[in-house]
Amino acid sequence: MLALTTEHAALNLPSMMVKRVRGRSRAPAHCLTTVLRGCPSARRLPQCQKSRCSGEHPTARSFGPARSPISTYPDHVFLSCSGAESLLQAAAVIGKDVPHALLQAVADESDEGVRMALDIALLHAYLGEFREGIARGVEAVEIADSVGTPYIQVYATGLTALSHCWRGDFASSLPLADRGLRLAEALGSINQIPFVLAARGWALCGLGRGDKGVPLLERGIKVAESSRVLYWHTNLVAIFAEGQLLASDVNRSRDTAARALDLARARREPGFEAWSLRLLGDIANATEADAETAERSYRSALALATSLRLRPLVAHCHLGLGKLYRRTGKSEQAHEHLTTATTMYRQMDMRFYLAQAEAAMRESG
């Protein structure tokens, strides 16, 4: 699925053996498993995964690779989404920090490899690399279907649906989320139902069907909390706030976003902290509340998002600041931020948000 390059030679992976799935070259299914089996750090991964799934982040980190900076790195990609397990596995192999590009070397076409590829695809979406991320997601869905493992099919459809939502392409997300939810419910996969409910609810809210979408988002959080499947917790709450805002339920969205912010800070997830702060800025802006409060939220979110290279969030912050400065009569600053947002959305092909930025540009004159 993901080809080795000379950059990855230091991994000392087993010799590549080519397989073909629907005419495409694939890494050997045994590749990752073989490497991990010989790595002492990998033995702690089951304990790490168990703690991660119950939301016990400090305990999960203690089981991480001792030699890896990832075990202490407070990035949004660590333990804040399902990519955490992949990062830990890759770190266990090479014993050092693992940028998302380097993770490509250890993905294969096994169930575990497809999961890793999907984790990488979602990370691409967080970074605004949608063309690459969604292409990998679509390919992973095809491979999951060819393998026919229902659990992996849910994972593939659900995470790819979330990538589309992150881009604002809710129409493309909905059929994938629908399929993922049907599969998860038929399988009785409690640990997967919350995130596919989130994907479907977010997509419906984005399509103007908040009356249908918001209850799904709320249900997803209740299922996660009652079953103690909490590794997605901050993400689910942030998506809930996003959906409520899309549905124009501003007051409830404010409370939910504040809860997401508290969770993100308690769980050391600065990416979700940035998301929550941007939402609080949007809410303050929408209600024409204290302009200083809105600006402070946007500025804090922008600083975090910029440091983490979360370009979609960076663009959202510029859009929010542009609207805020237009409302408060700061036309020059408004034009500057709206121009930046428009340029970034166009580069990332985020058409839903590009339309909003262009409309704000026209209204600002």
Tokens matching residue 279? 């939402």
Report pLDDT for 171. Answer: 98
Tokens matching residue 126? 């967080």
Tell me the pLDDT of the chain (365 aa) as tens digits.
222 222 222 222 222 222 222 333 333 333 333 333 444 444 455 555 555 555 565 665 555 544 443 444 333 333 333 333 344 343 333 333 443 433 444 445 566 667 777 877 887 888 898 998 899 889 889 888 888 889 899 999 999 999 999 999 999 999 999 999 999 999 999 989 999 999 999 999 999 999 999 999 999 999 999 998 887 889 999 999 999 999 999 999 999 999 999 998 888 778 889 999 999 999 999 987 789 999 999 999 999 999 888 899 999 999 999 999 999 999 999 999 999 999 999 999 999 999 999 999 998 77
Pairing of strands 19-21, 24-26: antiparallel
Nearest-10 crossing angle of helices 233-246, 210-227: 160
Report pLDDT for 364. Answer: 79
Report pLDDT for 115. Answer: 75
Distant-in-sequence, close-in-space partners of 265: CB < 8 Å, separation ≥ 6: 273
Q: Residue 69, exposed/middle/buried by CB under 10 A (0-12, 13-18, 19+)? A: exposed
Query: Which residue in 303, 297, 225, 221 sits closest to 261, CA to CA?
Result: 297
Residue with tokens 């920090």: 97
**Distance of alpha carbon 332 from alpha carbon 352, whole angstroms:** 25
**Distance of alpha carbon 306 from alpha carbon 316, whole angstroms:** 12
Report the sign of the C-alpha dihedral through residues 136, 137, 141, 147, in that order: positive
